[in-house]
């Protein structure tokens, strides 16, 4: 039994602080290109002080997916912790303005709302320095029958395992899902995150997850494989549905005997890769909860990802579904 919500995201609620940087900047702060590094509040102030003029917009990987899903017309809900500060207000507004049912009120105490310094280099690739702030105080107590409800799919992200009660709250969410008949999807977040929590992810994927959404590096980190062929072979040992993105090589969907190979859509130039995977997941899960074929799920995911890399920031402009339907 499920309620009218199709997708509930549980994740780190983050406001992105986006700025263009040159390659020297990354070297100066010692950040590997394309990485996501967790930083404390003092370091966040330091990085921000070094950055040029920035643009602020709501972000967070699963939150981006939830926003994109709502944007496509899907009924969505969200659980994540923000403070009752201005960035928290921005985060909540951007969700609610898309019709997302925001399940937690902003906290009146604790750390400030999280921010992710997104450093966009001249090739459009983004390097992230994230201060988790209020996110780290999301707890098991926030995951209840009432806040979770009975969505068709609950989407978790690997980054949740970086917070103190993350493993426990993920377990609580999966338990509620099993009791209520909700499916569980897990975004692996990034390959470094997988390295940090590989055993926990392996156990969770084997034990409670129905759908894994991830890029190929993340899947390889989970499966400890070293080539596309090895990864494809290893996937045969899993019952889960894997939707695996491969950047310019497109994506592959594997579910038992079914395999879908979806090419990427060529684009003239990539503006900013922020949110490419999140957008793919939004499209994929929208199709999946709507009963579409795996092929069409992959096509819709690709359409969303192609759109988001041609703009600044990780959230797709409203009106996407109309545009998608116009291409059919």
Cβ partners under 8 Å of residue 83, min gap 6: 106, 107, 108, 110, 111, 112, 113, 133, 134
Cα(78)–Cα(64) distance, integer angstroms: 11
Residue 53 interacting with a second copy (CB under 8 A) = yes
Instruction: Please identify, among the stretches 4-12, 44-52, 161-169, 225-233, the one whose residues bind a second copy according to the rule CB under 8 A.
Output: 44-52
DSSP state letter for 77:
E
Q: Kindly list the strands in the beta sheet with 258-262, ordered across the sheet, starting from the edge strand earlier in the chain.
A: 101-102, 76-79, 7-10, 153-157, 183-187, 211-215, 241-245, 251-255, 258-262
Q: CB-wise, 97 or 224, nearer to a second copy?
A: 97
Q: CB-wise, 87 or 254, nearer to a second copy?
A: 87
Residue 51 interacting with a second copy (CB under 8 A) = yes
DSSP state letter for 83:
B
Cα(39)–Cα(127) distance, integer angstroms: 13
Q: How many CA atoms lie within 13 A of 57 on its CB side?
A: 16
Phi, psi of 14 (to 5 degrees): -135, 140
Among 4, 33, 40, 93, binds a second copy (CB under 8 A): 93
Secondary structure E strands in the chain = 7-10, 14-20, 36-39, 55-59, 76-79, 101-102, 114-120, 126-131, 153-157, 183-187, 211-215, 241-245, 251-255, 258-262
Count of residues engaged in binding a second copy, rule: CB under 8 A = 26
Among 58, 150, 182, 273, binds a second copy (CB under 8 A): 58
Among 97, 123, 224, 293, binds a second copy (CB under 8 A): 97
Going residue by residue from 209 to 248, which x/- string records binding to a second copy, judged by CB under 8 A? ----------------------------------------
Least distance (Å) between residue 106 CB and a second copy: 13
Residue 94 interacting with a second copy (CB under 8 A) = yes
Among 30, 49, 237, 266, binds a second copy (CB under 8 A): 49
Residue 197 interacting with a second copy (CB under 8 A) = no
Give the chain's radius of gyration (CA, Å). 18
Least distance (Å) between residue 113 CB and a second copy: 8
Q: CB-wise, 91 or 288, nearer to a second copy?
A: 91
Phi, psi of 81 (to 5 degrees): -105, 125
Chain positions 10 to 39 lying near a second copy, rule: CB under 8 A, are: 20
Chain positions 294 to 323 lying near a second copy, rule: CB under 8 A, are: 312-313, 315, 317-318
Q: Which residues bind a second copy (CB under 8 A)?
A: 20, 48-49, 51-58, 67, 85-87, 90, 93-94, 97-98, 112, 312-313, 315, 317-318
């Amino acid at each position: 039994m499920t309620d009218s919500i199709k997708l509930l995201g549980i994740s780190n609620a983050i406001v992105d602080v986006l700025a263009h940087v040159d390659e020297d900047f990354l070297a100066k702060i010692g950040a590997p290109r394309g990485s996501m590094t967790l930083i404390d509040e003092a370091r966040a102030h330091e990085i921000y002080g070094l950055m040029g003029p920035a643009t602020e917009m709501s972000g967070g990987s699963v939150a981006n997916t939830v926003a994109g899903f709502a944007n496509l017309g899907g009924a969505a809900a969200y659980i994540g912790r923000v403070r009752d500060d201005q960035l928290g207000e921005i985060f909540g507004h951007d969700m609610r303005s898309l019709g997302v049912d925001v399940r937690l009120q902003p906290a009146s105490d604790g750390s400030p709302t999280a921010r992710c310094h997104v450093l966009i280099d001249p090739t459009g690739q983004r390097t992230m320095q994230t201060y988790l702030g209020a996110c780290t105080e999301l707890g098991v107590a926030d995951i209840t029958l009432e806040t979770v409800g009975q969505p068709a799919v609950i989407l978790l992200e690997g980054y949740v395992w970086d917070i103190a009660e993350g493993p426990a709250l993920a377990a609580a969410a999966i338990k509620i899902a099993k009791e209520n008949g909700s499916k569980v999807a897990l975004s692996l977040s990034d390959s470094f995150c997988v390295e940090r929590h590989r055993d926990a992810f392996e156990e969770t994927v084997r034990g409670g997850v129905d759908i894994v959404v991830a890029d190929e590096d993340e899947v390889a980190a989970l499966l400890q494989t070293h080539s596309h062929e090895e990864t494809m072979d290893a996937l045969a040992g899993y019952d889960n549905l894997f939707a695996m993105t491969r950047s310019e090589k497109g994506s592959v969907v594997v579910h038992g005997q079914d395999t879908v190979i979806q090419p990427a859509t060529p684009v003239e130039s990539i503006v900013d890769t922020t949110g490419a995977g999140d957008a793919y997941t939004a499209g994929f899960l929208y199709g999946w909860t709507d009963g579409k074929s795996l092929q069409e799920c992959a096509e819709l995911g690709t359409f969303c990802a192609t759109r988001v890399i041609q703009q600044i920031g990780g959230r797709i402009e409203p009106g996407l579904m109309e545009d998608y339907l116009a291409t059919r």
